[in-house]
A and B are shown apart, each in its own frame.
Chain A
């Protein structure tokens, strides 16, 4: 991604109304990676919808119609959706987790549930590795153990214990297929190697002390950790917590890089909040988009922590972000029922309306 385009994102105000048909808040969205075309959204009312983004490409203001939807059916979720994910290798399947303590695997074409995992606890998040062939779903629930669901067998494999509180966030490393990161209300971020019996590798320490990796004193944040994101190269991890901080961890050393992202971040709700990191390319900075609780999206330079842009204009709290690589767009879901698309502004000077809006109309008498 070249910097010029990103700056255009940053400098223009550009939102696109995607839809407003959902009755409840939109809790989570995901755009599939293969084509970058289909958007999956999970609502607070337990409904899941799929949207075709190509449809809305021409007319910026067009309200995108829902392609398919899993309304509250007998097999569907009974509670709000906490996270939806496309199966990374095939659009024919997606996975959803819900506050009704289940994780369901769906057949996209039939919009039917293919498989259900009942975790007996409120599920805050789940993750499926985009790299691994093992097909394991890592789950984050109010149970301190991280349970792994096997897509191949449709059963749980094993649990990773080590956290002392609700696990709010789990992410697979895009670099190492067995490396898993998790954040919890016990203020720790733990890295796991799922192959090991004593699987916890380390608990990240924000103070970079020389304490043992699994020391009780190691905390990643001063308060609950509710968001994790790996950089696309898998070398760094971004964590965020209720202490209104975002931290960048060097995974090679396991140390806090001490990057200062400033004080703009607002984070106070107990839910899985995922910062989105733009794809990395040589010679241009990588950006991290942070859905702040004050209804704005904060855009930081990942490495030096400077605030590039604050995207305001949403009327609801932004609950989830998704990056669409092909068009350099950020999609944001809000609890005001809207999904907004933020992208480079199409400057259309021929547009009469635009010209009118650009004009100053001072009267002569003033």
Chain B
């Protein structure tokens, strides 16, 4: 130790720092300050001793927040300095007393921080015990004491010191590394074992494909297509042609450009016009639509049922077993740790193998899916199943497929894959969408409006529209229903649609005879009166007024130089109608009017003003329940601006009072409020003031009850009671 005597300034600095750190009351220490303390302590052991003494002083304070911060700082220094360790270990019971509260020394308030301190100290003891236990026996003693006497549970502790934290992290990493390694080894073995199986399977599937789908480079298959077909199997050949139309580029790609060529070919091979007869006329243009959903249209028949069965089996194997396996291998290999040298070469080989396998499996899978083999159709129509139900189903299927075939033949179309009708998705647009329909859509009880295929939008009101329709269509009479429908307006469904075209309507439309108790039997000839019918044809509409996006400020120049900030829809109660004004508050006139009008003189005629006001009132009274989100947010905005206005309320008031020659109203302020507004006092620390009496219910009651006035009244009452009772006692004593 170079100097035993401590530099007074250093000591001063150290004490200031430590007191500052421990008195912040924050949950976490300021790292800069901690660093400063450490740098001071690093200089000499004397400083460490001083720091220890200061920390113990702080630790003994009766405030859990100070103790918590001190404990944190102690943990920092304990980790660093040997001298500090020696000192703390010597006083270990005291340390635990102050931080855990052993020996019937409960920790001070606040409770939250007391708990935190306790947990921290227990964690620290646990970690120090693990690290320094063999050297510092006091820590062992403390640990055992906590464990066996206080029954502290040392498991599941959160590591608090950096070292413990990093150690835990390392352990975690090591564990996951080992798991990865084990997975890798397992995958290596599996790849070796299973790759054969997978390749076999894929090969099997490949041969199935070869059988089902002839390739262009396959001579026999080509001959089957382009070789002279005999008349009997023309249809079949045609089928095949359709079947193999596309799979990849090597296959034949029948499209519009090819059709002419084909026609020539047909003619060449079919001079007798058989084909013509089948088609009815050779002027038909042949169009082959390639269905993207099912490009290879190989129909399963009795001939190839066996092949399909095999294919299905292979497919099932691939989907259920090989595909997940291969994906898993890829995963494991990608995540495995790369090691240099031989391992690396081996790894590369395996990876390549796995990638190849994956590719072949993917190919086989997609090909069989193209052939219509997938998990949903695990049993083909020709596959005999043990279930009787399935057999019935099978027949039906046969019927269906054959009927389809017949149809295609009759229509003369080449085996066109089942073409899906373009799905007309009804966009739910209508002329009058109901207000708030987007919200209603979520409601399960909402049936929605009538959805009709989109027609041109109609902007005319519906009732007039209906009348128009009637008047225009009636005389002409030639227009077809479709044309009329095309012109008809699209209106959401309402009751009036049921009766809109009725001239008269019977009361009883049910068709049933119904008898009334008093009125007798009604035969359904009673008609609804014309007026009622007219009313029934009316339709309810909810008026959804447009709220102004932003309510303009009045901006009338006030005497204090500011502009009036009141926001009113039509007129400010102090400054008249709200008109556009510039920065200085001068009225901005629309470009048409050149004259300059004084704000007071500007007058709207009564009618105009009334209309404006009516509009504003209507807007304000708009039904809030049916308001959309945007409307509500708008209202929110205006509400906000209103609350902002209140701060300037006093200004406006003063201005008006000044104008009227009245005195300014002094608003009585609460004492604290004004001061607070001027300079917000920043609390120097987050320490909870423990000396402040707790505002408990008892304290509040005491404030009420234990006042001098109430006590006096009680004593007064007692005195009266006493005197009256003594008087009563004497009353009965007849001397």
Contact = CB atoms under 8 A, between A and B. Distances in A.
A59 to B, nearest CB: 11
Interface stretch (B8-16, B88-96, B333-341, B610-618): B88-96
A360 B82 contact: yes
Contacts of A365: 35
Interface in A91-110: none
Interface stretch (A120-128, A173-181, A274-282, A351-359): A351-359
B148 A337 contact: yes
Contacts of A15: 137-138, 141
Nearest to A15: B137
Contacts of A351: 135
B82 A358 contact: yes
Given A362-B80, A366-B38, A61 B134 contact: yes
A83 to B, nearest CB: 24
B85 interface: yes
**In this complex, which of A315, A354, A356, A361 has the most chain B Cβ atoms within 10 angstroms of its Cβ?**
A315
Interface string A8-30: 00000111110010000000000
Contacts of A366: 35, 38-39, 42, 80
Nearest to B40: A366
B528 to A, nearest CB: 95
A312 B141 contact: no
B17 to A, nearest CB: 13
Interface in B55-99: 79-83, 85-86, 89-94, 96
Interface string B637-656: 00000000000000000000
Given A357-B82, A357-B85, A295 B93 contact: yes
A315 B93 contact: yes
Contacts of A312: 90-91, 93-94
Interface string B11-36: 00000000000000000000000010
A279 to B, nearest CB: 26
Interface string A341-356: 0000000000101101
A336 interface: yes
Nearest to A315: B145
A356 B148 CA distance: 28
A362 B38 contact: yes
A107 to B, nearest CB: 32
A343 B610 CA distance: 105
Given A312-B91, A313-B90, A365-B35, A20 B144 contact: yes
A26 to B, nearest CB: 13
B102 A315 contact: yes
Interface residues of B, number: 34
A362 to B, nearest CB: 4
Nearest to B34: A366
A365 B103 CA distance: 39
B692 interface: no
A354 B134 CA distance: 8
A359 B137 contact: no
B132 interface: yes
B142 A13 contact: no
Contact of B134 (A13, A315, A336, A353): A353
B677 interface: no
A299 to B, nearest CB: 14
B128 to A, nearest CB: 10
A285 B263 CA distance: 130
Chain B residues touching A, majority SS: helix
Nearest to A313: B138
Given A360-B81, A361-B80, A14 B148 contact: no
A353 B135 contact: yes
A13 B82 contact: no
Contacts, number: 83
B250 to A, nearest CB: 68
A314 B141 contact: yes
B140 A61 contact: yes
Interface string B129-161: 000101111101110110011000000000000
A313 B132 contact: no
A77 B80 CA distance: 52
B144 A13 contact: no
Contact of B93 (A313, A353, A356, A359): A313
A338 interface: yes
B93 A314 contact: yes
A314 B92 CA distance: 9
Contacts of A357: 82, 85, 132, 135-136
Contacts of A354: 135
Given A314-B93, A337-B148, A358-B82, A17 B35 contact: no
Contact of A336 (B90, B136, B149): B149
Contacts of B137: 13-17, 60-61, 313
Given A336-B149, A366-B42, A13 B93 contact: no
A156 B171 CA distance: 69
Contacts of B141: 15, 17, 313-315, 338, 340
B138 A13 contact: yes
B72 to A, nearest CB: 16
B42 A362 contact: yes
Interface string A187-205: 0000000000000000000
A312 B35 CA distance: 31
A337 B83 CA distance: 30
A216 B258 CA distance: 139
Contacts of B41: 362
B92 to A, nearest CB: 6
A351 B132 CA distance: 12
Contacts of A315: 93, 96, 102-103, 141-142, 145, 149
Interface string A283-303: 000000000000100000000
A78 to B, nearest CB: 25
Contacts of B35: 365-366
B703 to A, nearest CB: 41
B432 to A, nearest CB: 73
A332 to B, nearest CB: 12
A61 B142 CA distance: 14
B90 A359 contact: no
B134 A20 contact: no
A366 B90 CA distance: 26
A311 to B, nearest CB: 10
Nearest to A359: B82
Contacts of B92: 313
B148 A20 contact: yes
B51 to A, nearest CB: 13
Contacts of A20: 144, 148
A314 B145 CA distance: 10
B34 to A, nearest CB: 9
A48 B134 CA distance: 30
A354 B136 CA distance: 9
Nearest to A296: B93
Contact of A361 (B79, B134, B138, B145): B79
Contacts of B90: 13, 312-313
A76 B239 CA distance: 107
Contacts of A336: 145, 149
A61 B81 CA distance: 25
Contacts of A356: 135
Given A60-B137, A315-B103, A359-B82, 14 more contacts: A17-B140, A295-B93, A315-B102, A315-B141, A316-B145, A338-B141, A340-B141, A356-B135, A357-B82, A360-B81, A361-B80, A366-B35, A366-B39, A366-B80
22 contacts: A13-B90, A15-B141, A17-B137, A60-B137, A61-B137, A295-B103, A312-B93, A313-B92, A313-B93, A313-B138, A315-B93, A315-B96, A316-B145, A338-B141, A357-B82, A360-B83, A361-B80, A362-B81, A363-B38, A363-B80, A366-B35, A366-B80
Task: Sort A-B residue pairs by CB-CB distance and give the 9 closest, nearest first.
Answer: A366-B38, A357-B135, A315-B145, A313-B138, A362-B42, A15-B137, A353-B134, A366-B39, A360-B82
Interface of A: 13-17, 20, 60-61, 295, 312-316, 336-338, 340, 351, 353-354, 356-363, 365-366
